[in-house]
């Protein structure tokens, strides 16, 4: 076909975002109806033992609804053709906020990684020491001598991450504001990439989430599992959400925001999940939140089961806070609202796993396949297929940015088969924390 013929064909094969959404929704719905049919005998058998209501709660919560979500995710990823973000002729000035609490061991490396970015525009970095009990302030004060772009705000008392960011925000001099965790390391070109993506995205974009990867992945099996979670689980969800015009969490670890939009929504709310609540405020205001898959930041993740559970408790509680603070977002007529309702199902799915799937595994070990049986085993190939798709997509991104996917087979199998058995009960604890209004404390993750 000649060049003119190819150009004439392009409009015919172009698929708008709304069309991709419809295709993914139809495909996922078809898979769900097949799952309902296939689960009929399982549901009937379980109904005889626990009653219809509990049987539906468990079967749909363990298999049918998660299957719909995974099918929608897989089809959307196959349809996602992410446009490149071209280099800018002039790079705008940026301000970076770093809230630090007891980060003596890591804050200097974070500043080194920012300096090595060689960002081609004007740079302002504001570190806010939130009443640290260690030597964080001394490390930053020494760094002031090396970095002319560095500003230091030293708070006497610990008041929480949101408060620290809002105080630092008063010192911001530029229209684009980036947040970076104090125990993180920016990969080369990350600042330029996230700014380019912000400028290339649709005009109503007011925030873009960067790509978070695990820095301490070789420490033990817990960090190895999280390497897979961040590498393709979390990354794939952000890709799909941004495809449909609304990433639901511009995470505080590494995201860029429009300064005027931050002022409009009142800055960071003082709560456990300040980043998700802020993101939902931007979405509620009618703005779009994007995702830059090749603006990479490496961060330290929890190293023990206890730390991981506490982190996921905070994340779950943050989601609950977002619903409580922005209930009106549920009636916002936009594609991203679909994912808000999606999140509304998580307490059900997490509880079904906690009270049904985990005990079901124990029963199956003793030969009682009432909850976990052939039907649930059939989910394993689908889980591995989705993981393979995510892996291939993220590996392409790694190659483009000069990164290498390290071998982590042990971590993958534990992540694919057992990881949710930790995370979902932890999420249930987070929902209970919010329900009973337990005291709140800020964490770096």
pLDDT tens digits, 90-146: 999 999 999 999 999 999 999 999 999 999 999 999 999 999 999 999 999 999 999
Q: How many residues does the chain have?
A: 445
User: Distance (Å, rounded) from C-alpha 338 to C-alpha 40?
Assistant: 27
Q: In 10 A of CB 233, how many CB atoms? A: 19
pLDDT at residue 441, as a whole number: 63
User: Distance (Å, rounded) from C-alpha 360 to C-alpha 45?
Assistant: 14
- Candidates 365, 382, 392; CA nearest to 416 is 382
| pLDDT of 4 above 50 | no
Q: Which residue do the tokens 């939902």 mark?
A: 280
Token pair belonging to 419: 């990881």
Do 77 and 393 meet the contact criterion of CB atoms below 8 Å apart? yes
Residues paired with residue 98 on neighbouring β-strands, in sequence order? 127
CATH topology of domain 94-303: Spore Coat Polysaccharide Biosynthesis Protein SpsA; Chain A (3.90.550)
pTM of the model: 0.90
Token pair belonging to 331: 């009636």
User: Distance (Å, rounded) from C-alpha 351 to C-alpha 364?
Assistant: 19
Name the pairing type of β-strands 176-180 and 150-155.
unpaired
Of the given ranges (227-231, 338-342, 350-354, 410-414), which has the lowest mean pLDDT?
410-414
User: CB within 8 A of 10, min separation 6: which ones?
Assistant: none
Token pair belonging to 166: 């809002």
Domain ranges of the chain: 19-79, 94-303
User: CB within 8 A of 167, min separation 6: which ones?
Assistant: 128, 153, 155
Average pLDDT, the chain: 89
Average pLDDT over residues 329-354: 90
Of the given ranges (155-169, 209-223, 338-352, 430-444), which has the lowest mean pLDDT?
430-444
Output DSSP code: residue 327: G
- Candidates 96, 86, 29, 81; CA nearest to 242 is 81
């Amino acid at each position: 076909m000649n060049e003119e013929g190819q150009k004439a064909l392009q409009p015919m094969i172009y698929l708008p975002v709304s069309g991709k959404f419809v295709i993914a929704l139809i495909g996922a719905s078809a898979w769900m109806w097949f799952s309902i049919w296939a689960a009929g005998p399982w549901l009937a058998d379980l109904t005889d033992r626990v009653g219809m209501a509990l049987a539906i709660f468990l079967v749909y919560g363990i298999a049918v609804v998660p299957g719909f979500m995974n099918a929608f995710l897989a089809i959307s990823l196959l349809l996602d053709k992410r446009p490149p973000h071209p280099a800018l002729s002039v790079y705008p000035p940026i301000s970076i906020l770093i809230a630090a609490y007891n980060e003596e061991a890591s804050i200097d490396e974070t500043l080194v990684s920012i300096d090595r970015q060689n960002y081609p525009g004007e740079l302002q970095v504001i570190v806010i020491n939130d009443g640290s009990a260690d030597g964080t302030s001394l490390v930053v004060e020494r760094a002031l001598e090396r970095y002319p772009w560095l500003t230091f705000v030293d708070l006497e008392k610990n008041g929480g991450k949101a408060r620290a960011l809002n105080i630092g925000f008063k010192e911001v001099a530029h229209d684009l504001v980036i947040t970076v965790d104090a125990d993180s390391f920016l990969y080369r070109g990350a600042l330029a990439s996230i700014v380019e993506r912000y400028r290339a995205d649709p005009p109503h974009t007011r925030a873009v989430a960067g790509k978070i990867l695990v820095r301490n992945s070789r420490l033990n099996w817990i960090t190895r599992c999280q390497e897979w979670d961040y590498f393709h689980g979390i990354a794939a969800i952000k890709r799909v959400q941004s495809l449909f015009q609304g990433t639901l969490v511009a995470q505080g670890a590494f995201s860029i925001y429009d300064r005027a939009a931050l002022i409009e929504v009142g800055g960071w709310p003082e709560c456990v999940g300040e980043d998700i609540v802020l993101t939902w405020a931007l979405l509620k205001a009618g703005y779009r939140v994007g995702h830059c898959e090749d603006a990479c930041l490496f961060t330290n993740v929890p190293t023990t089961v206890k730390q991981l559970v506490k982190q996921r408790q905070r994340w779950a509680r943050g989601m609950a806070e977002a619903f409580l603070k922005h209930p009106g977002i549920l009636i916002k007529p936009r594609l991203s609202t679909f994912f808000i309702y999606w999140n509304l199902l998580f307490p059900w799915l997490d509880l079904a796993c906690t009270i049904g799937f985990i005990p079901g595994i124990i029963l199956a070990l003793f030969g009682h396949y009432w909850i976990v049986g052939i039907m649930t085993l059939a989910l394993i190939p689908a889980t591995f297929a989705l993981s393979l798709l995510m892996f291939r997509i993220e590996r392409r991104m790694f190659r483009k940015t000069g990164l290498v996917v390290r071998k982590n087979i042990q971590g993958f199998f534990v992540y694919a088969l057992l990881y949710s058995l930790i995370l979902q009960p932890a999420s249930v604890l987070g929902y209970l924390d919010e329900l009973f209004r337990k005291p709140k404390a800020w964490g770096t993750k």
